[in-house]
Each structure stands twice: as C-alpha cells, then as structure tokens.
Amino acid sequence: MKKTILMLGAILAYGCSFAQTPDTTKPAKLWTKGGVGGINFAQSSFTNWAAGGENALSATVLLSVYANYKKDKTTWDNTLDLAYGMIQSGKAPLRKNEDKIDFSSKYGRHIKESKLFYSALLNFKSQFASGYNFPNDTTVISRFLSPAYILGAVGFDYKPNNYLSLFVSPVTSKTTIVADQKLADAGAYGVEKAEFDTAGVKTKAGQMVRSEFGGYLKFTFKKDIFKNVNFSTKLELFSNYLYNPQNIDVNWENILGLKVNKYLSASISTNLIYDHDIPVPVTEDDANGLPVTRTGPRLQFKQVLAVGFSYKF
C-alpha cells in the first residue's frame, strides 16, 4: 500500500511538473510590418553670380509603411506611401512641389507547385492639397479627391522571390473621381464636362465620377543592388476596353536611394505619367512670338534629387 501511494505521488508530481513546463515553441509570425519616414531638402543660393540664377529652398516630408500577412497559401500585402513638399524659388510665392497619397492592398492565394497566385488588388491615389496653374496662383487645377483614382483588379500575380512581382489582370475597374464641381464642369481629368445653353446657363452639371473597364498590369521591383544602395521601380499600365483601348495609361516610378548612415540619406527619383484623358496646358510662342496656350494629352515627367534625414522602422 505504501509503495502504491509513493508511486501515485511520483506520477502526480511528474504530471504537475510537466503541466507547468512553459511552452517554448514560438508561434509562426504571420505579419511583417515596417516602414521608413524622412524629410528631404534641396537648396541653391546665388550672390553676385554672373551667370544668373534664383535662390531656392525646398523641403519634402515622406512616409512609406507596409503590413504584409502570410499564412500557408494566403498572402495579403498592404502599402501606404505619403509625400508632401513645398518650394520657395526667388520671389515666387510658396508652392507645393510634391503631393502624394498612394494606398495599395493585394490579396493572393498560392497556386500549387508554381510561383503564381490568384490575386485581387485594390489601389487608391490622390493628393492632400490644392494645386494651381502657376504662375497663375488663383486658378485651381487640383484638390483633395480631385482627382482621385480607385482601381480594383482580379488576376494573377507572379512572385518568384520577395523583391519582384508581376501582376496581370484582364478584369479591372478604374474609377476617376473629381469631387470639385467646378473642375468637374470643366471636364477635368477625363470626366464628362457640363453642358450650357446659348445664354451660357448650365443645363447639365459635369459628372464627378468616370468609370472605365479594361486590362491592367503592375510590375514592382525593390532590392539592394549594392551595399547601402537600393533601387525600386513600379510600372503600371491600363487599357480601357470600351474606349480607345490603344491609348494605354502609363505610370512609371523609379527611386535610387543611397543610405549614408543610420539617419542620413540621398535619393534620385523619377515619375513618368501618360494619360490620354488628362489635358495638360502648355504655353508656347506662335509664329509672331505671341504666347499661345494649347491644351491636350502630353507626356508628364518629374525628376527629384534630394538629400535628407530618414529613419527606418
């Protein structure tokens, strides 16, 4: 009897000690989160400079964050890029030189024994503040949500590694929003313009929303190509099946970043845009030397060289 009690006690003690042993197995990490924030500066100053020039100072605040989920065959990638910058050049009024809101969310399911995913993508683009037709600083040509672009796409995503992605969608909806009625009445950014009678009275308001249906391609690449040197590129192409499908909308962004140390960085970035539905006014001299403003679809290009402070988290 005594042996039995001792045996039961030993078993009970072992069981209690086993139950109280902490589980050292770490759960799989489902979310990967991070980002980078910073402020960039550019400055030029001239004193008695024979070749001429204007003093200029610009500053741009940047924030890029991501939150990616991965479990078994499921992936969900989310990115948010924000930027806003101001420039003071000579005696010209202070104006913005950068304004960006870009949110993207992509859900995918892995196709067995391949590097392909069934994917669905949602993208939103707009800007924070009003833009003007400089040197005319009274004519507004853009505002928050004027324009804004919402794109929804379903297709296939080719992801051979963690720094390259090729998303192709044959089924894509693109919505252009112009929330400012004055801009909508003018037919800005491709929306249907207002109608007026012979007396100039508006008989039909301009449409604030334009819907398109077509095909979409998005290529992204981001990788350290050398030590402390990162290159990223994003190319987006869209063709409207229902109206002039040969006119392909293009948005191509490139950034070459150099990390000097933990906080100091330099970068050169370019952005090329072509959208046949966006009329761009350009003032040129005619045969008589008089300024003439012509409006139509044009290739838009922006290049920025910047040095500043950044922090990665």
The predicted structure's pLDDT at residue 11: 36
Predicted confidence band of residue 133 (pLDDT cuts 50, 70, 90):
confident
| Whole-number Å distance between alpha carbons of 153 and 248 | 16
Strands (DSSP E) contained in 162-248 are 164-177, 195-196, 202-204, 209-226, 229-240
The predicted structure's pLDDT at residue 266: 92
Least confident of 136-145, 165-174, 265-274: 136-145
DSSP state of 3: H
To the question of domain 31-312 being in CATH 2.40.230, the answer is: yes
Q: 56 - beta bridge partners?
A: 44, 89
H or E element in which residue 160 lies: strand 148-161
pLDDT in tens, 284-300: 766 777 776 677 788 89
Decide: 258 and 266 in contact? Cβ < 8 Å: yes
Decide: 121 and 167 in contact? Cβ < 8 Å: yes
Q: Tell me the pTM.
A: 0.83
Residue 8 has pLDDT above 60, yes or no: no
Residue 264 has pLDDT above 50, yes or no: yes
The predicted structure's pLDDT at residue 48: 64
| Whole-number Å distance between alpha carbons of 207 and 280 | 19
pLDDT in tens, 17-43: 434 445 555 666 899 999 999 999 888
Predicted confidence band of residue 14 (pLDDT cuts 50, 70, 90):
very low
pLDDT in tens, 36-92: 999 998 887 877 677 667 788 899 999 999 999 999 999 999 999 999 999 988 777
DSSP state of 27: P
Instruction: Identify the CA nearest to 247 among candidates 191, 184, 190.
Output: 190
| Whole-number Å distance between alpha carbons of 126 and 147 | 6
Least confident of 97-111, 164-178, 268-282: 268-282
pLDDT in tens, 116-132: 999 999 999 999 999 98
Residue 168 has pLDDT above 70, yes or no: yes
| Whole-number Å distance between alpha carbons of 171 and 155 | 7
The predicted structure's pLDDT at residue 3: 43
Which residue bears the tokens 């600083």? Answer: 137
The sign of the torsion formed by the CA atoms of 159, 161, 163, 164 equals negative
pLDDT in tens, 90-102: 777 788 989 999 9
Decide: 180 and 147 in contact? Cβ < 8 Å: no
The predicted structure's pLDDT at residue 18: 39
